[in-house]
Amino acid sequence: MGSINASVDLRRDGEIFVVTADNPPVNALKHEVRAGLAEGLKHAREDTGVKAVVIVCAGRTFFAGADITEFGKPPQAPSLHDVIAAIEAMPKPVVAALHGTALGGGFELALACHFRVAVPAARVGLPEVKLGLLPGAGGTQRLPRLVGPEKALEMIVTGEPIGAAEARVGGIIDEIVEGDLTAAAIDFARRVVHERRPLRLVRDRDEKLIGEGFADAAEALTRRLRGRDAPAACVEAVRNAIVLPFEEGLRRESELFRKLVAGDQSKAQRHIFFAEREAAKVPHMPEATRPRPIAQGAVIGAGTMGGGIAMCFANAGIPVTVVETDRDLLQKGLDRVAANYRTMRENLRLFGALITWMGFKTGYVRVAHGERFEGQSTYTLRKLFKLAFETIIAYSDKPLRLAVQFGALISFLAFVVGLYVLGKGLFEGRSVAGWSSVMVSLSFLGGIIIAILGIIGVYLGKIYEETKQRPLYLVRRSIGFVPAAAAAGGRPSDRR
């Protein structure tokens, strides 16, 4: 066997033919990959010793989609449609082995296979709508036949992938496998052969094509997407899966896809897609270059933008030096930053302390005055967790005791009521043991829940009240100007 081309490799494992694609980083279905797959399927079809085929990908993921750089260019055979047609024409079982993210054209290729196995962490989806497109290789026609029109429409219109477990429940994946994916897929293919499982294509299934509720689902999904071409086209394509024969629905899907590709909306969304990725690249930088860790930062100017940048450094836990030419300008900038932090703190509610602790982490801002950096000092934004702990220790004794007592009282009263009902029923000769015992048990449970909620309420309430009363505490701990004399004397840890 060996390699067909630089992207596709073939090998035999007994009676199982394994086709492995390797096109890093995401195994996009470019022309060379499609050509290799088509050639591999041809070999498997002609080899009488082959009983089944496994399609698997090397690297971190199964085919994560088509090569969108080919959109708008003259098509090169074989197309993805040609590869899918070759899979469906195979008289031998074809198993897709999924890992990573099987998206777009990669998921559509998997849907054309007779069987699909996946690792637990695999995800599948059709995100074309995010590029102003719809699935153009049969996804709008095959997916509804597996999961039903409503679920298919949700996946296609939102473009959000689902996990392997959900896909297994929906019938997309036939088996979730552990360990080595290729070995597990080969073992699955052997079982399919030995058990003589029927080779039923997704395109031939129609038991889930029920139109009831589809219109309401479409309205709910597209209500906020009016004016966008792709979601409306997705709805039309999935509706066609319900009302049209498969081949006709496939033809209409291709027409809608070509219309969207040529439209301004998709062109704009694809431009943004490439621009975002290009913006993250530094021209002419060697591939082996790795980013250096950021130990500290400096911001020249304490204006609105400078103060905001300094806050970003502080919130990320990176020491930052703010430089201004005048003490008054520096103080004005620091006051503005303090006001920003105060606004953030005042907007917090019951879970404000926890949110601030998670978001701010530990920040540092170093303030320098003058061109020669006369006098500088560092202050630390203390973690709210420590402040919360100190607050609980200081305030929680009596409230916690009251909360526990209140919960216990409710539990006791409910228990007494339960016993009273039980005793009254027995005295009157009625059989009430069953439901009264349930009532007693629920009473105990209710009391415990109330006590726990009371404790949580006291904890969070007191944390919030304490931090609300001192909104500038962390601000003054994190930033501020200190003259050279103060800096020489060390860090003023008690400064308020």
Q: For residues 198 and 192, give the distance between their C-alpha atoms in angstroms, rounded to a whole number.
A: 9
Q: Which amino acid is at 410?
A: I
- What angle, 0 to 180 degrees and rounded to 10, lies between the N-to-C axes of helices 352-360 and 433-469? 60
Q: For residues 186 and 129, give the distance between their C-alpha atoms in angstroms, rounded to a whole number.
A: 34
Q: Any catalytic annotation for residue 108?
A: yes
Q: For residues 276 and 178, give the distance between their C-alpha atoms in angstroms, rounded to a whole number.
A: 36
pLDDT value of residue 473:
28
From residue 27, how far is each of 24, 41, 124, 338, 448 by CA, in Å? 5, 18, 14, 49, 54
**Which two structure tokens, joined as six digits, stand for 489?**
């004397």
pLDDT value of residue 343:
75
Q: Exposed/middle/buried for 434, CB within 10 Å: 0-12, 13-18, 19+?
A: exposed
Question: What is the distance of C-alpha 91 from the center of its chain?
Answer: 38
**Which two structure tokens, joined as six digits, stand for 353?**
């302390």
Q: Which of 88, 108, 154, 178 is an active site residue?
A: 108
pLDDT value of residue 30:
94
In the numeric block, the tokens 């704009």 are attached to 268
Q: For residues 327 and 344, give the distance between their C-alpha atoms in angstroms, rounded to a whole number.
A: 26
Residue-range domain boundaries for the chain: 2-268, 297-384+474-488, 388-471
**Tens digit of each residue's pLDDT, the chain (496 residues):** 678 899 999 999 999 999 999 999 999 999 999 999 999 999 999 999 999 999 999 999 999 988 877 876 788 899 999 999 999 999 999 999 999 999 999 999 999 999 999 999 999 999 999 999 999 999 999 999 999 999 999 999 999 999 999 999 999 999 999 999 999 999 999 999 999 999 999 999 999 999 888 999 999 999 888 889 999 999 999 999 999 999 999 999 999 999 999 999 999 999 998 898 888 788 888 878 887 888 888 899 889 899 899 888 888 888 888 888 888 888 898 888 888 877 776 654 434 444 333 333 333 333 333 333 233 333 333 344 444 444 443 334 445 445 555 555 555 666 666 666 666 666 665 544 455 555 556 655 665 665 565 555 555 554 444 444 433 323 333 333 333 333 333 333 333 3
- Homologous superfamily in CATH for domain 2-268: 2-enoyl-CoA Hydratase; Chain A, domain 1 (3.90.226.10)
Q: Residue 197: what are its φ and ψ, rounded to 5°?
A: -65, 145
**Which two structure tokens, joined as six digits, stand for 398?**
């009596």
pLDDT value of residue 225:
86
Q: For residues 401 and 130, give the distance between their C-alpha atoms in angstroms, rounded to a whole number.
A: 54
**Which two structure tokens, joined as six digits, stand for 397?**
């004794």
Q: Which of 32, 128, 154, 428 is an active site residue?
A: 128
Q: For residues 398 and 392, give the distance between their C-alpha atoms in angstroms, rounded to a whole number.
A: 11
3-state secondary structure of 448: helix
**Which two structure tokens, joined as six digits, stand for 253?**
């899907």
Q: Any catalytic annotation for residue 212?
A: no
pLDDT value of residue 407:
56
Q: For residues 496 and 487, give the distance between their C-alpha atoms in angstroms, rounded to a whole number.
A: 16
